[in-house]
Amino acid sequence: MKKVQARKVEEKKDDTNILCALAWFLAPISSAYLIAEKKYHSNKDLMLCAWQSLILSIAYFALRFTVFGIFFWGIGKLVDLLYVVFILYATYKGYQGEVVKAPIVGELAESQVEKMSK
């Protein structure tokens, strides 16, 4: 099983740390806004945070309120806890200037960032 990775990014001269933390903490609304706003498309680290938080939050809400909400109520509570812990961890790392890359979601997000940069 792959581990969650965090890597330090280059020195930033703008509010990327705060925006990355907000992309995680207020997902999916803030991440969708950052993806839609053209002025942030040049910042690949910010786009990676935004895409990951958007994909993860949509997957969480879809699974939580369908499969885990109807059939597996106890497992759903564990999923809630894991989601909240990961979001808080990613928000903290984003504010510290590190990009968190989740195993499956991170690869999907990187492919979206690459498509946007072309």
What would the pLDDT profile of 56-87 be if each residue is shown by its tens digit? 999 999 988 888 777 787 888 888 999 999 99
Which of residues 21 and 2 earns the better pLDDT score? 21
**Average pLDDT of the chain?**
89
| 87 touches 24 (CB < 8 A) | yes
The percentage of residues in the chain with a pLDDT greater than 90, rounded to a whole number, is: 68
Cα distances (angstroms) measured from residue 54 to each of 5, 32, 48, 71, 116: 18, 7, 10, 25, 15
pLDDT score of 35 more than 80: yes
Which of residues 23 and 79 earns the better pLDDT score? 23
pLDDT at 10: 56
Spatial separation of the C-alpha atoms in residues 60 and 62, rounded to whole Å: 5
- Tokens describing residue 99: 């990009």
Neighbours of 76 (CB within 10 A): 17
Which of residues 10 and 51 earns the better pLDDT score? 51
pLDDT at 20: 95
| 111 touches 55 (CB < 8 A) | no
